[in-house]
Amino acid sequence: MRFDVVTLFPEMIRAAAGYGVTGRAVERGLVRLETWNPRDYARDRHRTVDDRPYGGGPGMVMKVEPLRDAIRAARRAAPASPVVLLSPQGRRLDQAGVRELAAQPGLILVCGRYEGIDERLVEAEVDQEWSIGDYVLSGGELAALVVVDAVARLVPGVLGDAESAAQDSYMEGLLDCPHYTRPEEIDGRRVPPVLLSGDHGAIRRWRRKQALGRTWLRRPDLLAGRALDEEARALLEE
């Protein structure tokens, strides 16, 4: 999977994606990360990438030419990747969306700044718009990093244990169960005894019950309209 991030702050992307799971995935060549800076495509002496909005009003708008040329350079390098604009007006990202994005051979992630980008560029160059939530960030970089991180986890081989993504919250439409590690008791709180029993069937059922119960309590919307299998119904009734 390759990610081509079009950004005025490439160091921010490289630094943040260099840690942990994504950092190791890049090192191992499972994920390729490239950055494209519109400022490198600006033609004037001051390498201008923004200008005042037509019609007046506060803030600046990202100019077409430098951003367009940076996106086109990324397109030439990654012709199979859709161009994805990070925008608070886009489709709200969830795990189903992350799966859809992970099915692509790569993603060209365009990070806006200032008041946003010239609308003609959206019309001409952007294939999809995605938001990471109903709030406004100062720039698309943190949103692009969210996409890179969430999508990279689904790239085969990136996670050490193939099971760990499958059990994460939202993967099966449920929240994850609680997790514990050593010591068995701390500050008067004990690990649930079933996890120490060695009975793998009982542990699996306990975890599923916890996941169902948590989802029912915290995110009942995830269960609404969902057909539960016999075991799930029995666990919820216990």
Task: Name the site residues for ligand SAM (rule: CB under 6 A).
Answer: 86-89, 111-113, 115-116, 131-133, 135-140, 143
123 touches 96 (CB < 8 A): no
CA-nearest of 45, 43, 34 to 67 is 43
Alpha-carbon gap, residue 206 to 189, rounded angstroms: 18
Please identify, using beta-carbon distances, which residue of 10 and 140 lies nearer to ligand SAM.
140
157 is in an annotated binding site: no
225 is in an annotated binding site: no
Residue 141 annotated in active site: no
90 — phi, psi (to 5°)? -85, 180
Catalytic residue from among 149, 168, 172, 176: 168
Alpha-carbon gap, residue 208 to 193, rounded angstroms: 16
- Residue by residue, DSSP assigns 7-62 as -S-HHHHHHHHTSHHHHHHHHTTSSEEEEE-GGGG--STT---EEPPTT--SS-EE
Minimum distance of ligand SAM from residue 148's CB (angstroms): 13
Catalytic residue from among 115, 149, 172, 176: 115
Minimum distance of ligand SAM from residue 58's CB (angstroms): 10
Residue 168 annotated in active site: yes
153 touches 21 (CB < 8 A): yes
Minimum distance of ligand SAM from residue 150's CB (angstroms): 13
Residue 204 annotated in active site: no
Please identify, using beta-carbon distances, which residue of 38 and 116 lies nearer to ligand SAM.
116
41 is in an annotated binding site: no
Residue 127 annotated in active site: no
Residues annotated within a binding site for S-adenosyl-L-methionine:
112, 132-137
For the annotated catalytic residues, the residue numbers are: 88, 115, 153, 168
